[in-house]
Structure 1
Amino acid sequence: MPGAGTDSTKAWAEGGPVVILVEPQLGENIGSAVRAMGNFGLSRLRLVNPREGWPNPKAVTFASGADRILEGAELFPDLRSAIADLKFVAATTARERGMAKPVLGADAMAAEVALRLAGGEDVGLLFGRERTGLYTEEVSLADAILTLPVNPAFASLNLGMAVAIVGYEWFKLASQGALPFAPPDRSPIADKADLLALFDHIERELDEAAFFRSPEKRPSTTRNIRNIFHRVGLTKQDLATLHGMITALVEGREGRMARRAARFERKGAKSPEAED
């Protein structure tokens, strides 16, 4: 189910730590977590005893095209078997558990994970049930705790949201913060000769339109107009567009005047200009 932002021509990011969902309750939440994994380059999923069984068609729907992650998901009957082959495990929780373990935020955990993966260790990130999170016994099986700076009065996160935040910090580090696209190259900045030609064009047509009604105020008004354009940092393409706009306005005005004169002549009357 491709959507906005998907591109089948680009390589799919693979690797990263293993995401372990412990007894997830709803297929919709599994799918949302998998979608977040796909967004941020996490491709390995383990499911511990999902409540609604597996496979789950709702998970496919909510994964929104990240089917390959679902297809590669591994199913385990309990947490111990899901982490048995891993060297380092971090448990996500919003509650203090009174355990003497390192407590890291998502950015610091991403750095720790990257270091361990580079050293050949396999790493897992534990995410608990939607309603109750991880049990204290399950947290005790982890090497470290991963938590987030959330509102202490309302710290519970949706499962997919939690995976997205952690995944974002992981992929930001892994990709060195590279954005998916950059702004297009701008036209070269206009030189002063081009800018002065624009000023001449504008002021000439403003004269024709009787814009400068007060000779005493003309110098200050002219300076104000020029300063507006100085502040913008116009490119050569910008100047070409502005010249074209001014010309179109002038030609449109002259065309309207000519059509009005023709209408008066057809009626046998003097044109407004002639009456003036």
Structure 2
Amino acid sequence: MSKGFLPAIVLVRPQLGENIGKTARAMLNFGLTDLRLVAPRDGWPNPDAGPSAAGAGRVIEAARVFETVEQAIADCTHVYATTVRDRDMPKPVVTPSEAAAQIHGLQKMGNQTAILFGPERSGMTNDDVALADTVLTVPVNSEYGSLNLAQAVILVAYELFKTHDTTPVHQPAHPEGLATKAEVVGLMEHLEAELTKSGFFRSKDRQDSMRRTIRNLIQNAGFCSQEVQTMRGIVKSLSRRKPE
């Protein structure tokens, strides 16, 4: 698989070192090496990961650890969240094969992508999913849809591997590019801070759902870096405006 086609695999709060090792093995089978761990329950490094990796030690050794999902995807411009539950969020939903085609196109244009996988027992929270651009769902038996972590990763990795080609990646001379997640989250936090100051979040019971709705609106806009800076300038200007 070419170096221009390497989405990050992000394990959000993984529980067992053995499952991290199996995930690394699944990744390397299909040429993926960028493994990112968000707050692994049993810490990192984990002695149970190496034996389960079965020869994929270089993926384990290169794995990076982050405290939050926001930090793990800060350099990415498009993020997929794998989930089987209906989250009632206005996000496009794709299958692994559809995601693979999209990721290939995005990365040929120079965009870094990532795929989020949730904890083994509970999956991701709504706040985790709200940071993603697209929901990725694996079509499974409606009467038994239980996949373990490595199984979910290998299904997606296989589709990614099938889709890639050896055509040299063309980089535009001056690509405008999508905003990174660090830039997008910065806009979200800036807007939320000013809305809090203005008293917008009046109902504590609805505050979390309103905040997620706002984040989804920003996330789904697909801003480029310049548009994020413009939006932050607008928020800053409005916050300085004195009431008449």
The reply to whether TM is greater than 0.5 is yes
Q: Quick one: distance in 2 between partners of 1:22 and 1:128? A: 5
Say what the alpha-carbon RMSD is for the aligned residues.
Answer: 1.4
Q: CA deviation at 1:80?
A: 1.0
The residue number in structure 2 matching 1:144 is 134
Partner of 1:83: 73
From the superposition, tell whether residues 69 and 13 of structure 1 become closer, same or farther in structure 2 (CA, over 3 Å): farther
Unaligned stretches of 5+ in structure 1? 1-11, 177-276
CA-CA distance at 1:175 after TM superposition: 4.8
- Does the 8 A contact of 1:13 with 1:43 survive in 2? no
Q: Kindly indicate whether residue 24 of structure 2 is the aligned counterpart of residue 37 of structure 1.
A: no
The 3-state SS of whatever aligns with 2:48 is: helix
Number of aligned positions between the proteins: 165
> What is the aligned partner in structure 1 of residue 143 from structure 2?
153
- Deviation string for 1:167-203 (max 9, x for gaps)? 0000011158xxxxxxxxxxxxxxxxxxxxxxxxxxx
Is the contact made by 1:19 and 1:44 (CA closer than 8 Å) also made in structure 2? yes
Q: In structure 2, do the counterparts of structure 1 residues 153 and 137 end up closer, same or farther at CA, with 3 Å as the change threshold?
A: farther
Question: Equivalent pairs: percent with the same residue?
Answer: 48
Question: Highest Rg: 1 or 2?
Answer: 1
- Structure 1 counterpart of 2:37, from 37, 40, 47: 47
Residue 152 (structure 1) shift: 2.3
Q: 2:15 aligns with which of 13, 25, 29?
A: 25
Q: 1:101 aligns with which of 77, 81, 91?
A: 91
- The separation in 2 between residues aligned to 1:175 and 1:118, in whole angstroms, is 11
Deviation at 1:163, TM superposition (A): 0.3
C-alpha distance 147-141 of structure 1, shift in aligned 2 (>3 A): same
* Greater relative contact order (Cα < 8 A, sep 6+): 2
The residue aligned with 1:111 is: 101
Residue range with higher mean Cα deviation, 150-159 or 69-78: 150-159
Q: How far apart are 1:49 and its partner, in Å?
A: 0.5
Deviations 1:184-237 (A, max 9, x none): xxxxxxxxxxxxxxxxxxxxxxxxxxxxxxxxxxxxxxxxxxxxxxxxxxxxxx
| Structure 2 unaligned regions, length at least 5 | 167-244
* TM-aligned CA distance change 1:175 to 1:58, over 3 Å: farther
Deviation at 1:94, TM superposition (A): 0.8
Partner amino acid, structure 1, of 2:151: M
Q: Deviations over 1:64-109 (max 9, x none)?
A: 0111111111100111111111100000001111111110000000
Counterpart residue type for residue 135 of structure 2? I
